[in-house]
Chains A and B, each alone.
Chain A
Amino acid sequence: MLTELGDDAKILAGGQSLLPIMNLRLAEPAHLVDISRVGDLMGADEDTTSVTLGAAITHQAIEDGLVPDPCLGLLTTAAAGIGYRAIRCRGTVGGSLAHADSAAEWPTVLTAIGADVTVRSAQDERTVPLRGFFHGFFTTSLESDELITAVHLPRFAKSTRWALEKTNRKEGEFGESMAVAIVSEGSASIWLGAAKDVPVNLAHVETLLADHPADQVPALGEVRDRVAADLDLSVPELDLAQRHRLQIHAVTVHRALSRALSPEVPA
């Protein structure tokens, strides 16, 4: 069907992003292809090194632990932070990735984890790493005849420590900033959502951490300078409002680092 209809069709999974946009008449697709009851997209599979989740698995299923979480609780925590319960009962992991809003949980969290997605068209199937999958606001490397069918998640080592921090003004809203820090055996993966059109890898912050004594959290000022560098921002040129946005990102990252590096097990 997607091959036949091309851009005139939109895939409808949970409808928690697409339907509001259609209500506002910002999107007016001629056809909707409802995949929310395709059984093949709702299964979960695991082996010793990874877990595969069907794309139509809901946030609620992940939140409630109905499918395996190979990331030591990061997935369930991320799922629980998405919108409100009613939204989580319908919204799907694949739908969120295809929608590609960098302020949403899954694009940033799953990119930080280093997950891949399986993408299928009528003719073909390919595996795409999420790092590189997101091209911009609501745009991905998906072709119009392609559908995300599954997400592959690597298993965290037992010693891996992680933190997910989201700063928002109201419970259940999109984050104004969202930082994921995953620290394991001297290496760190730190990603920031809601800052740009795609999740941003905070390479400068990762370097800062590598150069820093283990288990010690760098000062907020240092983190802010590195985040600015990762976001290509020149601090002296920012106005007060822009400086505050940078500050929010820096504090969010700093909180994530503090949690990931603290001696207690992350919540």
Chain B
Amino acid sequence: MRQEPRLRRNGVGARRPRHEDERHLHGRGKFVADLDLPGVQEVAFLRSQVAHGRLLAVTKPEGIDESRIWTAEDLAPFALPLTATSTLPGFRAAPLPNLAEGKVRYVGEPVALAMAGSRAEAEDLAALIDVDIEALPAAVHIENLTDPDSPRVHDEWPDNIFATTQGTVGDVDVAAAEAAVSITREYKLNRQAVVPLETRAVAAHYDRNIDQLVVWSSTQTPHMLRDMLAELLNIEGRRLRVIAPDMGGGFGAKCSIYPEEVALAAIALQVTHPVRWIEDRWEAMVATTQARDHAYRITAHASADGRLLGVEADIRVNAGAYSVHPWTATMDASMSAAMIPGPYLLENYRFTTHSLASNKAPLGPYRGVARPGACFAIERTIDDLAHELGLEPWEMRVRNMVTPDLMPFTSIARKVYDSGNYPEAVRRATQLMDHDEWRRRQADRPVSGRRRLGIGYASFTEQTAHGCIEWASRGLAITIGKEGARLVLDSTGAFTLYVGIKSHGQGLETTLGQVISEVFDIDPASVTVIHGDTALTPRGDGTFASRSMVMAGGASFGAASQLAEKVLAIGADLLKVDASTLSFTDGKVVGETGGISLSQLAREFLFTPDHVPNVDGGLEATYFYQPEVQTGAFTYATHAAVVEVDLDTGEVDLLDYGVVEDCGTVVNPLIVDGQIIGGVAQGLGSALLEELVYDDDGQPKSTSFLDYLLPGPVEVPELKIEHMETPSPYTVFGMKGAGEGGAIAPPAAVANAVTDALREFGALINETPVTPERVWQALQVADRERNDA
């Protein structure tokens, strides 16, 4: 169902400011914390302060109204624990308790909860609950989780391995024998928090009048949450309504099903008042799903002329204490294994992945999902291979990339790269950055000076909007893949669009309006877009995996096209002409001899259906969409970073940063640029600043913004962005997703740039974030190795 954009003034491709900004900039947004819920009791969770321990007793204080405190024992009859299992062979599921029972497995795990008229009083009450925990040694660091004497997170398991996967394509050993150069590298991406401006938030109220449990949650996936709550609370779905009101971001942290959501929903059915929990920032840093925590061992082989002959990858992911629904504990490892081949023509590839359990918070999705790790692993390796071969790293990339004449191309990991010109993005990036000029300046730096310049690149393909088969191949029990949209034309001639996805910062109220405008030639701002309410919207899986514009855009286009056909039929009946002679212009149906406004037409049809006897009733259409190819539409990009490194301190200054990217047909250039800028900012956080540090006992040491450094305006340079626009042959309008790409390449590009700056010393930057301490230590280690040699 590929459609070329028709170049309406306000349709696909229009550079429109976001409609939703007005209410937010005027303070009219309404978040879960803003809900006016008479009689609401605010909830505070009591959380484990130890990473690993036996939970011996949870004792309520004397003389307190017992119904204000809930323990695991109180909650158990009303809510099942969530088990996120996988269809991958040998996968060990670890049920995620709603409140801890028997053991606690990470700092921040909920143990009990208390409720009161205010959060402060609820916290006072929670502090009176006596928790007896016998601390156990903790399994913490990724390097140690498979040691034979490592503490076991789950007593019933023989080790700490959720699952192991392996794959071989071609013959890496033959490639190794043919290679002119082979290198082995170890890389590590440390653990990060996901930091939306608005933390998580849940409220729940059982409306006895209509026998409906309403759950408000700051969630990216309202329909999925409803499905799971129905299952875990063992009630019929018809009695459950989930509403996601305005949200201050999610970035993946709000698309797993959480114990807090289950607990509040279950409790609301048992009490006579609403309940609400607003996560505070400490909780967000310890109990919201976290990200990265990958370790790689990569061996790569290349020919003398710079062809990449073979890659072997050992991938380890510290997935934390539990498997989260629906992604499971193998999400990162399976994604990473498939994405290491990247944009390259690779014939020989062998991988092993280990998804490991530890006494850290569960790992969940975060913008980029594993691709920042995969990109780091392959892109740092490409640079070091190029260095060994005496090639410019950008040239090594160009020589090995899938070329346009091979598109669509099925990658070695069986993903269909649908379209684009990958090497051209690299070439353009070198021009965008003025590569040769930086090389000159680099060479001009005096050897005696204490600051060095470096330039680094990172290229990647970004799988977006993948369908059922893709998720099934990665072992998910729930194979997400279709989105619904319902478009209604009311009696005033105005459109309301109902979609199953949840816009939580992506500007979909604007871009989906543009899709409707593309069909009807109306002002997109005149379309009301309803999302985030399961009682109102057709089914949809939610907003994640860079899917919403492609999936909900496709569904909206489908619904609009069906409704357009009907409107034209009505127009034909009213104007007494053939429908094929009619079209939409500026909110009217027009033909050769005359026209009728949508409002007149709707009035005629809805108030006096007898005037339009030849058209069936109803002025709305519902459409469910999935792209033709289910491994997704592949966006791609090359990023480039220029850095200055202080040899005395290891400080890295980012001097320039550029992006050349191709996300297919751009629906709204302002919004796509916004996504790139925001993504790069978060990627630079991964690259240079953000790290959740854990000590050997599993205590997180950087749980406030005093220690956990986020990039601010000063840390993010003004980006150079250049677009290529190759429509996907498999999606409506040729759209591809654009949500995550910005965050994927910065760690690799920055590490390559810093390594480039330090080539004369042989210091390799193989770990993120690239802190002054790590750079300085890499210099000391390289210095020692040179002296030893």
Q: Is the CB of A240 within 8 A of B780?
A: yes
Contact with B along A225-261 (1 / 0, CB 8 A): 0000000000000001101100110010000000000
Q: Is the CB of B709 within 8 A of A169?
A: yes
A24 in contact (CB, < 8 A): yes
Q: Is the CB of A24 within 8 A of B704?
A: yes
Q: Is the CB of A170 within 8 A of B772?
A: no
Smallest CB separation, A3 vs chain B (Å): 28
In the assembled complex, the Cα of A243 lies from the Cα of B780 at a distance in Å of: 10
B773 in contact (CB, < 8 A): yes
B648 in contact (CB, < 8 A): yes
B599 in contact (CB, < 8 A): no
A173 in contact (CB, < 8 A): yes
Residues of A within 8 A of B712 (CB): 170-172
B400 in contact (CB, < 8 A): no
Q: Is the CB of A169 within 8 A of B648?
A: no
Q: Is the CB of B773 within 8 A of A170?
A: no
Q: Is the CB of A244 within 8 A of B777?
A: yes
A106 in contact (CB, < 8 A): no
A60 in contact (CB, < 8 A): no
A37 in contact (CB, < 8 A): no
Residues of B within 8 A of A72 (CB): none
A25 in contact (CB, < 8 A): yes
Residues of B within 8 A of A244 (CB): 650, 772-773, 776-777
| Residue in B closest to A252 when the chains form the complex, CB atoms | B649
In the assembled complex, the Cα of A24 lies from the Cα of B282 at a distance in Å of: 8
In the assembled complex, the Cα of A173 lies from the Cα of B648 at a distance in Å of: 21
A167 in contact (CB, < 8 A): yes
Contact with A along B121-133 (1 / 0, CB 8 A): 0010000000000
B689 in contact (CB, < 8 A): yes
Q: Is the CB of B714 within 8 A of A171?
A: yes
Q: Is the CB of A174 within 8 A of B706?
A: yes
A220 in contact (CB, < 8 A): yes
Contact with A along B408-428 (1 / 0, CB 8 A): 000000000000000000000
B715 in contact (CB, < 8 A): yes
Smallest CB separation, B246 vs chain A (Å): 24
Residues of A within 8 A of B689 (CB): 169-170
B491 in contact (CB, < 8 A): no
B771 in contact (CB, < 8 A): yes
Residues of B within 8 A of A24 (CB): 282, 704
Q: Is the CB of A220 within 8 A of B648?
A: yes
Q: Is the CB of B649 within 8 A of A248?
A: yes
Residues of A within 8 A of B282 (CB): 24
In the assembled complex, the Cα of A24 lies from the Cα of B283 at a distance in Å of: 11
Smallest CB separation, B452 vs chain A (Å): 16
In the assembled complex, the Cα of A223 lies from the Cα of B651 at a distance in Å of: 19
In the assembled complex, the Cα of A248 lies from the Cα of B777 at a distance in Å of: 12
Contact with A along B634-673 (1 / 0, CB 8 A): 0000000000001011110000000000000000000000
In the assembled complex, the Cα of A167 lies from the Cα of B649 at a distance in Å of: 10
Residues of A within 8 A of B715 (CB): 170-171
| Residue in A closest to B714 when the chains form the complex, CB atoms | A171
Q: Is the CB of A240 within 8 A of B777?
A: yes
Q: Is the CB of A173 within 8 A of B709?
A: yes
With A220-B648, A251-B649 in contact, do A169 and B704 touch (Cβ < 8 Å)?
no
Residues of B within 8 A of A174 (CB): 706
Contact with A along B689-716 (1 / 0, CB 8 A): 1000000000000001010010110110
Residues of A within 8 A of B646 (CB): 251
In the assembled complex, the Cα of A167 lies from the Cα of B773 at a distance in Å of: 13
Q: Is the CB of A169 within 8 A of B780?
A: no
In the assembled complex, the Cα of A58 lies from the Cα of B772 at a distance in Å of: 33
Residues of B within 8 A of A241 (CB): 773, 777
Contact with A along B105-126 (1 / 0, CB 8 A): 0000000000000000001000
Smallest CB separation, B266 vs chain A (Å): 28
Residues of B within 8 A of A248 (CB): 649, 772
| Residue in A closest to B774 when the chains form the complex, CB atoms | A244
Q: Is the CB of A247 within 8 A of B709?
A: no
Interface centre among B715, B773, B776 (most CB of A within 10 A): B773
| Residue in A closest to B769 when the chains form the complex, CB atoms | A169
In the assembled complex, the Cα of A248 lies from the Cα of B650 at a distance in Å of: 9
Residue in A169, A171, A173, A240 whose beta carbon sits within 8 Å of that of B771 in the complex: A169
Smallest CB separation, B279 vs chain A (Å): 14
Smallest CB separation, B703 vs chain A (Å): 9
Smallest CB separation, B774 vs chain A (Å): 9
In the assembled complex, the Cα of A12 lies from the Cα of B213 at a distance in Å of: 44
Smallest CB separation, A63 vs chain B (Å): 17
Residues of A within 8 A of B706 (CB): 173-174
Residues of B within 8 A of A169 (CB): 689, 709, 771-772
Smallest CB separation, A256 vs chain B (Å): 14
In the assembled complex, the Cα of A241 lies from the Cα of B777 at a distance in Å of: 8
Q: Is the CB of A25 within 8 A of B123?
A: yes
Residue in A170, A240, A251 whose beta carbon sits within 8 Å of that of B648 in the complex: A251
In the assembled complex, the Cα of A172 lies from the Cα of B771 at a distance in Å of: 17
| Residue in A closest to B715 when the chains form the complex, CB atoms | A170
Residue in A25, A172, A220, A247 whose beta carbon sits within 8 Å of that of B776 in the complex: A247
With A24-B704, A244-B777 in contact, do A170 and B709 touch (Cβ < 8 Å)?
yes
Residues of A within 8 A of B704 (CB): 24
Smallest CB separation, B585 vs chain A (Å): 51
In the assembled complex, the Cα of A171 lies from the Cα of B713 at a distance in Å of: 9
In the assembled complex, the Cα of A172 lies from the Cα of B649 at a distance in Å of: 19
Smallest CB separation, A171 vs chain B (Å): 4
Interface centre among A170, A174, A240 (most CB of B within 10 A): A170
In the assembled complex, the Cα of A25 lies from the Cα of B715 at a distance in Å of: 31
In the assembled complex, the Cα of A241 lies from the Cα of B780 at a distance in Å of: 11
Residues of B within 8 A of A171 (CB): 712, 714-715
With A171-B712, A174-B706 in contact, do A247 and B123 touch (Cβ < 8 Å)?
no
Smallest CB separation, A218 vs chain B (Å): 14
In the assembled complex, the Cα of A244 lies from the Cα of B689 at a distance in Å of: 17
Residues of B within 8 A of A247 (CB): 648-649, 776
Contact with A along B749-783 (1 / 0, CB 8 A): 00000000000000000000001110011001000
Contact with A along B711-730 (1 / 0, CB 8 A): 11011000000000000000
| Residue in B closest to A243 when the chains form the complex, CB atoms | B780
Smallest CB separation, A137 vs chain B (Å): 14
Query: CB within 8 Å of A: which of B574-617?
Result: none
Smallest CB separation, B264 vs chain A (Å): 23
In the assembled complex, the Cα of A247 lies from the Cα of B649 at a distance in Å of: 7
Contact with B along A14-58 (1 / 0, CB 8 A): 000000000011000000000000000000000000000000000
Residues of A within 8 A of B771 (CB): 169
In the assembled complex, the Cα of A25 lies from the Cα of B649 at a distance in Å of: 36
| Residue in A closest to B777 when the chains form the complex, CB atoms | A240
Residues of A within 8 A of B711 (CB): 170
Residues of B within 8 A of A172 (CB): 712, 714
| Residue in A closest to B710 when the chains form the complex, CB atoms | A170
Residues of A within 8 A of B776 (CB): 244, 247
Q: 10 A–B contact pairs at CB < 8 A?
A: A167-B649, A167-B651, A170-B709, A172-B714, A173-B706, A244-B772, A244-B777, A248-B772, A251-B646, A251-B648
Given A167-B649, A169-B689, A171-B714, 4 other A-B residues pairs in contact with their CB atoms under 8 A: A171-B712, A172-B714, A244-B650, A244-B772
* For the complex of A and B, 3 pairs with smallest distance between CB atoms: A171-B714, A244-B773, A170-B709
